[in-house]
Amino acid sequence: MQSKQRVVIAGGGTAGWMAAAAFTRLLPGQVDVTLIESSEIGTVGVGEATIPTLAYFHKLLGIDERQFMAATQATFKLGIQFEHWREQQHQYLHAFGQTGQTSFACDFQHFWLRGRQLGIAAEFGDYCLESVAARAGKFAHLPNNGLNYAYHLDASRYALFLRDIAEQAGITRIDGTISAITTDADNGFIDNITLADGQRISGDLFIDCTGFRALLIEQTLRVGFEDWSHWLLCDRAVAMQSERIGELAPFTRSIAHPAGWQWRIPLRERMGNGLIYSSRYMSDDAASTTLTGSVSGEALHAPRFIRFTPGRRRKQWHKNCVALGLASGFLEPLESTSIHLIQQGIIKLIRLFPHKQILPSAVDEYNQQCTTELAHIRDFLILHYCVTQRNDSAFWRHCQSMPIPDSLQQKIDLFKQTGSVFHPGKALFEDSWQQVMLGQGLMPERYHPFADTMEQAELADFLSHVSGTIQRTVATMPDHQRYIATMK
Ligand SMILES: Cc1cc2nc3c(=O)[nH]c(=O)nc-3n(C[C@H](O)[C@H](O)[C@H](O)COP(=O)(O)OP(=O)(O)OC[C@H]3O[C@@H](n4cnc5c(N)ncnc54)[C@H](O)[C@@H]3O)c2cc1C
């Protein structure tokens, strides 16, 4: 390889432009980046809810929050409201913050479980600042990053925003359609990409951001795909944007249906809507009718259908090709994890970047980390489906009775039997599993005896101190919609 690495990014959706902006800002002078995108093909056009890690990515890239939010019509997101998931008419909020205060011996839920048994505890969500703020429709930037939040954003505008950053930093953008990919006959590495107009682009490292097509990693390098559709039954989406009417909620809504679920993502000027469903249990026509019938506000375009297979590429990095975004695999957007996985992939790649040559140890490490991370998220998603009391449709009956990964079964058993949750290393959603398990109706049989070390009166004081502090904080916060208006 030459001293300045020639990085070729194939694809200019969210994944391609996030990678281009990150490489140019975080590896200045070390990479020569070319991005190929096809305006003829376009992008998937969805992917508008995020999780709090995106703010960290933006900080790394030196992105100003106000500029980013104005450019992408963004709003704040404090969590996801799950409606009709445990049972019809039931709802709970998975909020981004920590619930209560932990102790060295056990987490807050143990104290809460004892308080609940004694009849002195409020709802679990009342002990989480982000949950109470979300339900009150409030938002503010609190001192010391006191409120965990993410964003709802317009995906097409986000790609344009990042494109601007990358182009200002000097990347080469080519609008063209890839017609062939040539590999080296000796080592199988990708050598160059040919476009329909005959242009040929060579590189050292190729980033496959071609979406579900996975032109490089799969269609050329044939790494194989691990299909998880036996655990995650949904394999279709129908999406539609509509005019926004009503208040600007600081959370995503996820509304369960007889064969899937619907998302509602509030942006400043419009709503993102979509239905994720299982083609085994719902026809495309029924999905479209369900979606259009439940969207409030005028539709801005006809419903668009997207097919997918849940799962992952067996390798995210193979030879001199790294797949990011939909090309690397896909898990339904139930917990808005895809954009997060793109950013994680980029950061991992920068940390293991092949400055001189591609080392098998770095490739193995990258793939190993991706495997662990994806399995953890996969289990978290399956949890929402398998722990449910819904049995009103064949889809939900299937979800209740299907075999699940051993890793998830172990977590469920542990929570049920001990009230505890443990994660390997530094895992995503550390404070979320308790919220979702309780929200889905999984109530532990016992709590940690450490919670008994408090006198009942002391426990009552402790619980009311936590919830009281939260209530007082939320009372000082402005309405989310008004707060956004002051940011314009
Ligand atoms: C229904 C649905 C809902 C989702 N919701 C969320 C969400 O709420 N939150 C979240 O984090 N993620 C979500 N995602 C995932 C998110 O949309 C993607 O992770 C994100 O948009 C990145 O997509 P991408 O860039 O990999 O692919 P794409 O947007 O499909 O971009 C592919 C790029 O490759 C180019 N390309 C393809 N073929 C060629 C060719 N032959 N020649 C040249 N260029 C080519 C295209 O032109 C395009 O530029 C959702 C996904 C789906 C399907």
Q: Are 326 and 15 in contact (CB under 8 A)?
A: yes
257 burial via Cβ count (<10 Å: 0-12, 13-18, 19+) = buried
Asked whether residue 71 falls in the same domain as residue 167, the answer is yes
| Rounded distance from Cα 399 to ligand 1 centre (Å) | 27
β-strands 190-195, 200-202: how paired? antiparallel
Which ligand 1 atom sits nearest the alpha carbon of residue 179?
Answer: 41
pLDDT of residue 425: 67
Q: Which protein residues touch ligand 1 with a CB less than 6 Å away?
A: 11-16, 36-38, 41-44, 46-50, 155, 177-178, 209-211, 213, 215, 237, 239, 274, 306, 308, 325-327, 333, 336, 338-339, 342
Mutate to test the pocket of ligand 1, among 17, 35, 36, 43 (most ligand atoms within 8 A of CB): 43
Predicted pLDDT at 247: 87
219 shares its domain with 260: no
| DSSP assignment letter at 478 | P
Question: What's the confidence (pLDDT) of residue 296?
Answer: 86
Amino acid at 65: E
Count of domains forming the chain: 2
Largest pairwise CA distance in the chain: 78
**Is there a single domain that holds both residue 339 and residue 254?**
no
Ligand 1 atom, smallest distance to 49 CA? 8
Query: What pLDDT is attached to residue 2?
Result: 54
Contacts made by residues 295-298, CB under 8 angstroms, sequence distance 24+: 295/240, 295/242, 295/271, 296/242, 296/245, 296/246, 296/271, 297/242, 297/243, 297/244, 297/245, 297/270, 297/271, 298/242, 298/243
What is the CB neighbour count within 10 angstroms for residue 347?
16
Length of the chain: 488
Q: What pLDDT shows up at residue 109? A: 96
Of residues 326, 264, 251, 209, the one with CA closest to residue 97: 251
Ligand 1 atom showing the smallest separation from residue 342 Cα:
19
Pocket probe for ligand 1: among 80, 162, 262, 338, the residue whose CB has the most ligand atoms within 8 Å is 338
CA–CA separation, 190 vs 200, rounded Å?
Answer: 12
DSSP string, 338-400: HHHHHHHHHHHHHHT--SSS--HHHHHHHHHHHHHHHHHHHHHHHHHHHS----SSHHHHHHH
Which residue, chain included where needed, has tokens 């709970």? 92
Residue ending a domain, choose from 257, 272, 307: 307
pLDDT at 470: 98
pLDDT digits (tens, 9 = 90+) for 174-204: 999 999 999 999 999 999 999 999 999 999 9
Residues 54, 164 within the same domain: yes
Does residue 473 contact residue 128 with C-beta atoms inside 8 Å? no
pLDDT at 286: 97
Residue 402 resides in a domain? no
Residue 439, both tokens: 């929200």
Which pLDDT score is estimated for 426?
A: 67
- Report how far Cα 244 is from the mean position of its chain's Cα atoms: 23
Residue 195 CA, closest ligand 1 atom number: 42
Assign residue 256 the CATH number of its domain: 3.30.70
Q: Whose CA is nearest to atom 1 of ligand 1?
A: 237
Atom 38, ligand 1: residue with shortest CA distance: 210
Asked if 254 and 203 sit in the same domain, the reply is no
How many angstroms separate the CA atoms of 344 and 369, rounded? 10
| Ligand 1 midpoint to CA 428 (Å) | 22
Distance from the CA of 128 to the center of ligand 1, in angstroms?
33
Give the distance (Å) from ligand 1 centre to CA of residue 13: 5
**Structural domain of residue 169, as residue ranges?**
5-75+152-226+310-375
Q: Count the Cβ atoms, other than its own, within 10 Å of residue 215.
A: 21
Integer-rounded Cα radius of gyration of the chain: 23
pLDDT at 103: 86
Residue 63 sits in the same domain as residue 12: yes
Q: Are 75 and 268 in contact (CB under 8 A)?
A: yes
Indicate the pairing of strand 31-37 with strand 270-277.
unpaired
CA of 464 to the centre of ligand 1 (A): 46
Counting as low any pLDDT under 50, the low residues of the chain are 1
Among 355, 375, 395, which residue terminates a domain? 375
Instruction: Give the distance (Å) from ligand 1 centre to CA of residue 165.
Output: 19
Ligand 1 atom 51: residue of nearest CA: 47
Asked if residue 406 is part of any domain, the answer here is no
CA distance 237 to 245: 23
Atom of ligand 1 nearest to the CA of 336: 9
Q: Is residue 96 part of a domain?
A: no
Q: How far apart are the first and last CA of the chain?
A: 47
| Nearest residue by C-alpha to atom 6 in ligand 1 | 47
Q: Are residues 303 and 315 in the same domain?
A: no
Return the percent helix, strand and coil in the chain, to nearest 5. Answer: 40, 20, 40
Distance 91 CA to ligand 1 centre (A): 30
- Is residue 352 domain-resident? yes
Cα–Cα distance measured from residue 213 to residue 352, given in angstroms and rounded to the nearest whole number: 26
Residue 252 alpha carbon, nearest atom of ligand 1: 8
